[in-house]
Each structure stands twice: as structure tokens, then as C-alpha cells.
Amino acid sequence: MSKMIRILVVDDHIVVRRGLIAMLETEPGMQIVGEAANGVEAVAQARKLVPDVVLMDLVMPVMDGIEATRQIKQEMPSVNILVLTSFSTNDKVIPSLNAGAIGYLLKDSTPVDLVQAIHQVSQGEGSLSTAVTRQILAQLQTPVASPEQTPEVELTERETEVLKFIAHGYSNAEIARLMVVSNATVHTHVSRILSKLNVSSRTQAALYALKKKLVTLDESSK
């Protein structure tokens, strides 16, 4: 029997929060372990419950989701955070990823997309909606963050292949199947890629691949 994904739901709107809980409670393999209405409550609940995934709203009273994400990741690095918000602007997306979130989904996403994102984030594999990726790429195309200014990193041919699969949104298991290698081999490649790129998540690695034009935005959606 596969391990249950333990989820903490954070949103200041009780109707939204309870709606998410009601929906996710019907999903096999998912368990709602707690809820919070602001960032301070989110940090306290995460500290108490140590969930696998925190479903994090951003705009909340007392403490916003970005600061809550930062504090949770500093104290509990093993807790993976999926942002679920109505905002896809750079002043929300970039700080959230820098704070440690590895997934970013908009509230107009489908339930299927949300469930898939939770599964990916629970495995530490990250998930970005296409709309969010477009916002990030728009920023990356500015002179301040142009591809030419990104330091070159020496990846092996195999590591580059794995990085492209990461940017396409494939999980380790899917990459292993496509490359006809073991999951352990893929895990080793991913660890080396993150180390060489000096990034902490697959999401950041995928953004590097997009920035360096190893894949295009249209290609990066499965």
C-alpha cells in the first residue's frame, strides 16, 4: 500500500479552504491533517504536524504565504510547499519560489491539475502552471536576467537529457522508463544536476533549461 500524502491546507477564505478539504478528502492516497487561515497559523501547524505538502495561499492577513513558506522551509526542509493562488504576477511568483515553494498553481486550475500537482510536489518534483511559466519567462527575457548573463554550467550529455525531461514535467519514474534505466540512476542524475546548477529544486532546474533554451515553452508542457 502506497504512503498517504499528508496535506495541510492554508487559505484565509473559509469557503475556499473547506471546499479544497472536501474535494481532497475524496482523493485516494491523500489525507488532510490540518488547516490554517493565515501564515502564522500555517507555520505553527506545519511545526506541529510536519505534513508532506502544504497547500499555501499567498495573500492572507497577519502573515502572507511567502513569509510563511520561507519560515516553514527554514525550519522543516522536508516539507514541500505548493502555492495555490489567484495571482501569477512576478512579485508573487518569483519571491514564492525563492522562499522555497516548488509548485505554483492558479486557483482556476482544474481539480485534476491540482491533484497531479500535489502528487508531484509530494515527491519533491515541483509543478508550475503554464500561465506561471509564461510570467517567469517574460521576466527572464528582460536585460537584467537575460540568458547570456546566466553562468554556463558543464552538464554531461546524459544530464542534459535528464534536465530536458525535468523541464517537460516528467517524474523520476517516467524519466527512468523513457531512458530505460533504474529510478536510482535517474535520482543520481537529478542530484548531480541540482548540485551543478546550484539550485535547490527541480522547478528551478526546469527554469534554467527554459532560460538556456534547452527546451521551449510549448515543448515544456506534456
Indicate whether 203 and 186 sit together in one domain: yes
Enclosing domain of residue 190: 146-211
Q: Is 26 exposed, middle or buried (0-12, 13-18, 19+ CB in 10 A)?
A: exposed
Question: How many domains is the chain partitioned into structurally?
Answer: 2
- Are 130 and 137 contacting, i.e. CB atoms less than 8 angstroms apart? no
From the list 173, 167, 175, the residue with the least C-alpha distance to 199 is: 167
Residue 221 lies in a domain: no
Find the CATH number of the domain harbouring 89: 3.40.50.2300
- The grid coordinates of residue 91 equal 512579485
Looking at the chain, list the stretches that DSSP marks H as alpha helix, in order from N- to C-terminal side.
Answer: 14-24, 39-49, 65-75, 90-99, 111-122, 130-140, 157-167, 172-179, 183-197, 202-211
From the list 221, 13, 42, the residue with the least C-alpha distance to 128 is: 221
Which ranges of the chain have pLDDT less than 70? 1-2, 88-91, 129-152, 216-222
Indicate whether 99 and 179 sit together in one domain: no
Indicate whether 24 and 134 sit together in one domain: yes
- Are 81 and 56 contacting, i.e. CB atoms less than 8 angstroms apart? yes
The alpha carbon dihedral of 84, 170, 94, 51 has a sign of positive
Indicate whether 95 and 48 sit together in one domain: yes
Residue 16 lies in a domain: yes
Which residues, 6+ apart, have CB-to-CB distance to 184 below 8 Å? Answer: none
Indicate whether 87 and 32 sit together in one domain: yes
Q: For position 210, what pLDDT does the model report?
A: 76
The single residue listed with the C-alpha cell 495573500 is 59
Q: For position 55, what pLDDT does the model report?
A: 97
Domain boundary among 88, 119, 138: 138
From the list 50, 100, 40, the residue with the least C-alpha distance to 70 is: 100
Domain boundary among 105, 121, 138: 138
